[in-house]
Structure 1
């Protein structure tokens, strides 16, 4: 069974117990996470999600980005079906991302566009900034606009992120 942070009963009835309500009140999760958990429980009847763990969801424009662990075990065809089923249930475009290191998450969010580099800059005030460089010719292949991509990566990583479109030499 897919691992979700909420009680199955709370998700299905939309009436949260004290434990589940405290997850929302603390700001760790939002109502979107309850909706996505419910959709995952429904999809699980068609697709085997054993050992798959739900992490968190983010909404960007009309797209929901769902972070999960252990999705690499799902066969490619089932993974595509998972995204289609969730898109249908949530009535918004869905992108499921394997939650690993932040660089892995960035690469999946940028896909199918190519990624040049991901680097970290240390700023004089002691903070860091992650710089994601994408070839400018790849911008049309990005699933999310560069400025929205920057905002979503910042929210997921909890760090300052800058997405740069780079013109490559000879093009």
Structure 2
């Protein structure tokens, strides 16, 4: 079964129990996370065994672009593209223009590379400021025009994922 932070009973019925409702109210997860987890659970029940050993972590949505963060994935890119298409058709209520499933690996670099594909990452730097804050400075090959998701939306999604300011430079 695909692992999610929500109870299997809640995912089947669409009604949240007290524990899961509390997670949403506290801000750990959102209604979007519940809908995406429910969609993944339904797809697995319909026979998508590809996501059987995967774990749903979080969903991020900005301006119709939906990024789904998964873990423990040993799925090839072609099967992941099919799964993205199925998720897009099942989530009609949100009507995402673009769905991208990201497999969380050990480094931030791998997450960034997956989000900006087909553009290529040139360098990733962390700038530390005297006040204790920091920001990622991401340099992309001049093919930044080839990114499927606009630069500003990528920056805001990465800011949500990493809890740091993000600047993308070409």
> Aligned partners of 2:4, 2:75: CA distance in 1, in Å?
17
Q: Which residue of 1 aligns with 2:69?
A: 67
**DSSP-derived class of the 1:116 partner:** strand
> Aligned partners of 1:133, 1:83: CA distance in 2, in Å?
27
> Aligned partners of 2:108, 2:159: CA distance in 1, in Å?
10
Q: Which residue of 2 aligns with 1:89?
A: 90
Structure showing greater radius of gyration is 1
What is the TM-score when the length of structure 2 is the normalising length?
A: 0.90
> Aligned partners of 1:14, 1:39: CA distance in 2, in Å?
10
Residue of 111, 123, 127 corresponding to 2:117 = 111
Residue of 137, 155, 161 corresponding to 1:150 = 155
Residue of 121, 125, 128 corresponding to 2:127 = 121
How far residue 139 of structure 1 moved from its aligned partner, in angstroms, is 2.1
**DSSP-derived class of the 1:117 partner:** strand
Aligned CA-pair RMSD: 1.3
> Aligned partners of 1:76, 1:146: CA distance in 2, in Å?
23
Q: Which residue of 2 aligns with 1:102?
A: 108
Gaps of 5+ in 2: none
How far residue 13 of structure 1 moved from its aligned partner, in angstroms, is 2.2
Q: Which residue of 2 aligns with 1:25?
A: 25
Instruction: Indicate the larger mover: 84-93 or 49-58.
Output: 84-93
**DSSP-derived class of the 1:6 partner:** coil
Q: Indicate conservation of the 8 Å contact 1:47/1:78, yes or no.
A: no
How far residue 46 of structure 1 moved from its aligned partner, in angstroms, is 2.7
Instruction: Indicate the larger mover: 150-159 or 124-133.
Output: 124-133
Q: Indicate conservation of the 8 Å contact 2:84/2:100, yes or no.
A: yes
Count of equivalent residues: 163
User: Which 4+ stretches in 1 moved above 6 angstroms?
Assistant: none
Change (3 A) 1:146 1:77: closer
> Aligned partners of 1:75, 1:106: CA distance in 2, in Å?
18
